[in-house]
């Protein structure tokens, strides 16, 4: 059992938990995720690692209520436990594999949308700990849905916050802030990392391609099973079939077929849609060996 040490509400239907998981905390890196189950009959839920403490042996996760299983999870309190807490899974952020000296000479921009702030935070924190400053844009529909602002302020080189309704800081989409920084202020970024809803990442990539700004996206939103076997996170990248949970979750955003991925998301929600996708895609529907 994996004990919950802290549980708190960050915003409406968004909850943060610190979980005792020493083995995961010992080896995880920014960009990776875990799969959790409340009990033996519970649904397997993939969640990005928001933070970790190797000394304390804890992992921080952020849960957004989107269905029955996440609603049950959000009701857990400090002292409760998860039956399963598997990880770290997926590939670490590409930044973790780069030379630190080279990173310090790069101008890096992160773009976080909604709950995408949770997986952006550990990457920015890791960079800060290694002497690398990164600019961060955080977007939310409204101020009440903004999360981890104080935490992000401590690790970001410059933090830009925008809300769709203008209830806090700037008004508008994250793409408008990117335009302002690059076109109006003339800031030259070497790479952009965008994490958030699929539609947000799509339009960020359309803009950054126009700006000739290399962009990495994290396809966390399309993961379901977390092992590549369910076929939910199948995505086409540069004409090749990939699976977000095992090959990613990070990919070159300018090579991702977002329209196909979002269409598959809708189809995958129904039993009929899943059956149709499996029939159409054959051996490439699943990950792993491709023939399971």
Same domain (yes/no): 37, 136: no
Tens digits of residue pLDDT in 49-61: 999 999 999 999 9
Structure tokens at 120: 């952006």
Same domain (yes/no): 85, 195: no
Check if the beta carbon of residue 61 is closer than 8 Å to that of residue 47. Answer: yes
- In CATH, what number is assigned to the domain containing residue 161? 3.40.50.80
Angle at the Cα of 60 from the Cα atoms of 59 and 64, rounded to 5 degrees: 135
Chain mean pLDDT for the chain: 86
Same domain (yes/no): 113, 209: yes
Choosing from 183, 199, 218, the residue where a domain stops is 218
Residue 175 has what pLDDT?
96
Given a cut of 50, whether residue 205 has pLDDT beyond it is yes
Same domain (yes/no): 239, 144: no
Same domain (yes/no): 56, 103: no
Domain hosting residue 147, numbered range: 95-218
Same domain (yes/no): 107, 59: no
Tens digits of residue pLDDT in 31-51: 998 989 998 888 888 888 999
Q: How confident is the model at residue 224 (pLDDT cuts 50, 70, 90)?
A: low
Same domain (yes/no): 121, 106: yes
The tally of domains found in the chain comes to 3
Residue 267 has what pLDDT?
52
Same domain (yes/no): 241, 207: no
Find the range with the poorest average confidence among 10-19, 138-147, 208-217, 264-273: 264-273
Residue 290 has what pLDDT?
41
Same domain (yes/no): 47, 136: no
Choosing from 62, 89, 116, the residue where a domain stops is 89
- In CATH, what number is assigned to the domain containing residue 15? 2.40.30.10
Same domain (yes/no): 224, 214: no
Same domain (yes/no): 100, 193: yes
Same domain (yes/no): 100, 214: yes
* Residues 229, 205: Cα–Cα separation, whole Å: 28
DSSP states along the chain: -EEEEEEEEEETTEEEEEEE-HHHHHH--TT-EEEEESSTTSPPEEEEEEEEETTTTEEEEEEE--SHHHHHHHT--BTBEESEEEEEESPPPGGGGS-HHHHHTS-EEEEEEGGGHHHHHHHHHHHHHTT--EEEEEEESSGGG--SHHHHHHH-SEEEEEETTSSSSEES-HHHHHHIIIIIS----SEEEEES-HHHHHHHHHHHHHTT--EEEE-GGG-SSSSSSS-TTEEEETTEEEEHHHH-SEEEGGGB-HHHHHHHHHHHTSHHHHHHHHHHHGGGSSSTTS--
Q: How confident is the model at residue 137 (pLDDT cuts 50, 70, 90)?
A: very high
Choosing from 74, 89, 104, the residue where a domain stops is 89
Mean pLDDT, residues 196-210: 94
Find the range with the poorest average confidence among 3-12, 90-99, 231-240: 231-240
Proportion of the chain above pLDDT 70, given as a percent = 86
């Amino acid at each position: 059992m994996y004990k919950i040490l802290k549980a708190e509400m960050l915003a409406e239907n968004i909850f943060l938990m610190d979980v005792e998981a020493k083995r995961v905390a010992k080896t995880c890196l920014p960009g990776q995720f875990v799969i959790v189950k409340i009990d033996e009959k519970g649904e397997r839920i993939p969640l990005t690692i928001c933070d970790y403490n190797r000394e304390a042996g804890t992992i921080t996760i952020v849960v957004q209520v989107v269905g029955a299983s996440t609603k049950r999870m959000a009701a857990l309190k400090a002292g409760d436990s998860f039956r399963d807490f598997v990880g770290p899974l997926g590939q670490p952020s590409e930044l973790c594999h780069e030379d630190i000296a080279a990173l310090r000479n790069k101008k890096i921009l992160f773009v976080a949308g909604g709950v995408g702030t949770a997986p952006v935070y550990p990457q920015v924190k890791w960079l800060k700990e290694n002497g690398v400053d990164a600019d961060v844009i955080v977007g939310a529909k409204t101020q009440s849905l903004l999360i981890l602002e104080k935490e992000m302020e401590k690790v970001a080189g410059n933090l830009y916050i925008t809300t769709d309704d203008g209830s806090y800081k700037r008004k508008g989409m994250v793409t408008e802030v990117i335009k302002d920084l690059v076109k109006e202020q003339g800031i030259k970024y070497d790479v952009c990392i965008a994490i958030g809803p699929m539609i947000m990442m799509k339009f960020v990539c359309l803009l950054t391609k126009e700006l000739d700004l290399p962009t990495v996206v994290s396809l966390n939103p399309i993961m379901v099973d977390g092992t590549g076997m369910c076929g939910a996170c199948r995505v086409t990248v540069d004409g090749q079939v990939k699976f977000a949970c095992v090959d990613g979750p990070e990919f070159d955003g300018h090579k991702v077929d977002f329209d196909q991925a979002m269409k598959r998301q809708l189809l995958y929600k129904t039993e009929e849609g899943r059956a149709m996708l499996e029939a159409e895609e054959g051996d490439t529907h699943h990950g792993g060996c491709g023939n399971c």
